A and B are shown apart, each in its own frame.
Chain A
């Protein structure tokens, strides 16, 4: 069973461009979470999605950031008009619907975004 897959692993963008980060949850998981980790800081929650629905986006900046988790395909975190302050590691996690592990989040390796 493959783990949480994130791509790309590294992404370089110039200021003003768009960044699209993708996350494929583990098989059988319909809950996806996105976290951001700024350099030398801890992880900060951004958004929680369940298939086709945003459940909690309390940690997401109000502008330029959006997330989706369509019925088919990976979850996408989209950052429009990137600025240097968006440079960070973005981690995705997933959890299953049921079973003993339903409240455990499994993380991907992250996407490291560098804004020039």
Chain B
């Protein structure tokens, strides 16, 4: 699975959009970009994933560049409960359940009142 690079920390004002970048310059054609987050002392939570098109769900939007070498997770209106460590993970979408997830150091997002 391709390696990812994320800034170690970011701040965001409550109510504003939080834009979390991720570089994955060695991503290959069959690899997807997944985002998870871990709120303090809780288990990781799946947020969103995508291949090459932009994706949106009830939690967030995922913008993937045309060359797929980077992506941005957008939380449109950050709340204090969005304070967490956000992990960008790249992995192939093989057989069901195939392979583990590699959690790097992630980005610690702090939402400020």
Contacts and interface: CB of A to CB of B under 8 A. Distances in A.
Interface in B33-84: 34, 38, 41-46, 49
A107 B100 contact: no
Interface of A: 4, 30-31, 33, 35, 42-45, 48, 50, 56, 59, 89, 91, 93, 95-98, 102-110
Interface in B92-113: 93-94, 96-106
B95 to A, nearest CB: 9
Please give me the 10 A-B residue pairs with the lowest Cβ-Cβ distance, nearest first: A31-B97, A107-B43, A45-B100, A43-B103, A102-B96, A95-B97, A42-B103, A107-B44, A97-B96, A103-B93
Nearest to B96: A102
Contacts of B96: 31, 95-98, 102-103
A31 B98 CA distance: 9
Given A56-B99, A91-B43, A103-B93, 17 more contacts: A33-B101, A35-B100, A35-B101, A35-B103, A42-B104, A43-B38, A45-B102, A91-B44, A95-B97, A96-B96, A96-B97, A97-B96, A102-B96, A103-B32, A103-B91, A103-B94, A103-B97
A105 B99 contact: no
Question: Is the contact region of chain B dominated by helix, strand, or loop, or is it mixed?
Answer: loop
Contacts of A89: 41
Nearest to B43: A107
A30 B97 CA distance: 9
A33 B49 CA distance: 19
A104 B49 contact: yes
